[in-house]
Amino acid sequence: MSKIINPSELLKINSDHLDPRWDWSKQIPAPGRMNVDFEERVDFTRLHNYRVARARQALKESDLGAMLCFDNNNIRYLTSSVIGEWARDKMCRYALFTGNTDPYLWDFGSAAEHHRLNNPWFEKDHWRAGMLGLRGSVGEDAGLFASAAKEIADLLRSEGVADMPLGVDVCEPPMLFALQKEGIEVRDVQQVMLNARQIKSMDEIILLNQSAAMVDGAYHLIAEELKPGKRENEIVAIANKFLYDNGSDDVEAINAVSGERCSPHPHNFTDRMYRPGDQAFFDIIQSFMGYRTCYYRTLNVCSKTPAQVDAYVKAREWIDAAIALVKPGVTTDKIAAVWPRAKDFGFESEMEAFGLQFGHGLGLALHERPIISRLVSFDNPFELKEGMVFALETYCPSIDGNGAARIEEEVIVTNDGCRIITLFPAQTLFVANEY
């Protein structure tokens, strides 16, 4: 077991603010995917230390003794480890963190030995092989849940936190029951982890900016390829290849929606063929070193109609009104209030319109804090802080039935406003391959 560390020694970066070296007067770098010896780019050791320190402080400020995480984003935040997107829905990896020592990670089979050889930031006995139920494929009777719960209980006792509640983010029900049989009081830890993750460090902001820069390039390629005869799925394939060629570690989804499919928004893509005059919008959701984008753009195919332009102008006005409000101290209800009511653009309720006039935090997950929506923000306003990174997105259907406008900008909350990092042109309706 690694030695006990005073949390104040590791919390070298103030838990409520960015790295003090950050200077908002400078342009945010998008340095590329390599580290080099001739300029400072992302310091991954500093990134790891920042994330663990944030988690340690958030845990200390809670009423929990430890956290047990199955959410892959929380695991990566705590351990700086990842074994591929295939593991995201398997519930096969889990990490335990008491704040008194380094986190422990139970990983899939041989991955544990790989970590011992290649991940020197923890002592070797903190990288362990683990296996549970693979979402029910291995039943409770096999005893894996019970043995894992006993091992966790033993560690909680050895680290002096067995008499305190254990926070869990998500897990299979048999794991929850096994922990309870060990006498462990289980509570929710997702809010604690979101507390930790909501303020981004300099390194996280650079990674988010680089991730957005990759999508800038993808949209330039889409604008070149978007023409009659192409299909939605072909554009998705072209964009996927571009992103993986340029360093993406996960293209989670690309929405490609056009013509009559634009209203109501279906949130997917098909084999529909583009036609002259179509309005088409896209959302590119991908990650670089784990840090995600959510980046909508609307492009017309060859030509545009006055109704399509009007829809775009409205969507742009709504997003600009929201961006103008973004600064530390503003609460999310103030931003949601500048967006139209659901009934103003054709929906019966805010639940049905959820996600169309919308804001959501970005980081290792697609949806972090803050969430901004007329559905939730008026009753539960949330204060913006320097160092938050989130996306703002708006939607307006065209009154002629041929399309809809969808715009999204990713913003960083600075000390006196915000910085936009999604740079593909979007102030006016972009017409690709115009006749």
pLDDT confidence of 22, banded at 50, 70, 90? confident
What CATH number is given to the structural domain containing 183? Answer: 3.40.350.10
Q: Give the rounded percent of residues in the chain with a pLDDT score beyond 90.
A: 90
pLDDT confidence of 172, banded at 50, 70, 90? very high
Q: What is the separation of C-alpha 272 from the centre of its chain, rounded to a whole number of angstroms?
A: 29
Per-residue model confidence (pLDDT) at position 85:
87
Same domain? For 116 and 230 the reply is: no
Same domain? For 289 and 329 the reply is: yes
Residue 27: both structure tokens together: 């342009």
Handedness of CA 68, 72, 78, 82 (dihedral sign): positive
> Which of 197, 230, 248 delimits the end of a domain?
197
Same domain? For 332 and 395 the reply is: yes
Distance between CA atoms of residues 80 and 77, nearest Å:
6
Per-residue model confidence (pLDDT) at position 63:
97
Mean pLDDT over 228-253 rounds to 97
Same domain? For 47 and 29 the reply is: yes
Distance between CA atoms of residues 214 and 325, nearest Å:
27
Q: Running DSSP on this structure, what letter comes out for residue 99?
A: S
Cβ atoms of 197 and 205 closer than 8 Å: no
Per-residue model confidence (pLDDT) at position 32:
85
Residue range 137-154, pLDDT digits in tens: 999 999 999 999 999 999
Same domain? For 78 and 181 the reply is: yes
Same domain? For 228 and 102 the reply is: no
**Does residue 309 lie within any of the structural domains?**
yes
Cβ atoms of 411 and 326 closer than 8 Å: yes
Query: Residue 166: CA atoms inside 13 Å, Cβ hemisphere, count?
Result: 30
Mean pLDDT over 239-264 rounds to 97
Per-residue model confidence (pLDDT) at position 326:
98
Per-residue model confidence (pLDDT) at position 4:
39
Residue range 352-386, pLDDT digits in tens: 999 999 999 999 999 999 999 999 999 999 999 99
Distance between CA atoms of residues 393 and 255, nearest Å:
14
**Does residue 367 lie within any of the structural domains?**
yes
pLDDT confidence of 401, banded at 50, 70, 90? confident
Whole-number Cα distances in Å, 243 to 64, 205, 211, 251: 40, 19, 9, 7
Query: What are the two backbone dihedrals, phi and then psi, of residue 316, each rounded to the nearest 5 degrees?
Result: -70, -40
In the chain, the number of structural domains is: 2
**Does residue 92 lie within any of the structural domains?**
yes
pLDDT value at 1 more than 50? no
Range of the domain at 122: 7-197
pLDDT value at 3 more than 80? no
pLDDT confidence of 21, banded at 50, 70, 90? low
Query: Residue 116: CA atoms inside 13 Å, Cβ hemisphere, count?
Result: 13
Mean pLDDT over 223-251 rounds to 98
Looking at every residue in the chain, the average pLDDT score rounds to 94
Residue range 69-94, pLDDT digits in tens: 999 999 999 999 999 888 888 899 99
Per-residue model confidence (pLDDT) at position 317:
98
Cis preceding linkage at 266, omega within 30: no
Other CB atoms within a 10 A radius of the CB of residue 288 amount to 24
SS3 27: coil
Q: Where are the beta strands (DSSP E) in 32-80?
A: 66-69
Beta-bridged to residue 419, according to DSSP, are: 412
Mean pLDDT over 172-180 rounds to 97
Same domain? For 86 and 152 the reply is: yes
CA dihedral 28, 29, 33, 34 (to 10 degrees): -140
Per-residue model confidence (pLDDT) at position 23:
83
Residue range 312-365, pLDDT digits in tens: 999 999 999 999 999 999 999 999 999 999 999 999 999 999 999 999 999 999
pLDDT confidence of 19, banded at 50, 70, 90? low
pLDDT confidence of 20, banded at 50, 70, 90? low
Cβ atoms of 192 and 67 closer than 8 Å: yes
Per-residue model confidence (pLDDT) at position 18:
53
Same domain? For 387 and 347 the reply is: yes
Residue 349: both structure tokens together: 């309720």
Same domain? For 190 and 231 the reply is: no
Per-residue model confidence (pLDDT) at position 128:
97
Cβ atoms of 302 and 433 closer than 8 Å: yes
Same domain? For 123 and 193 the reply is: yes
What CATH number is given to the structural domain containing 266? Answer: 3.90.230.10
Distance between CA atoms of residues 176 and 64, nearest Å:
16
**Does residue 2 lie within any of the structural domains?**
no
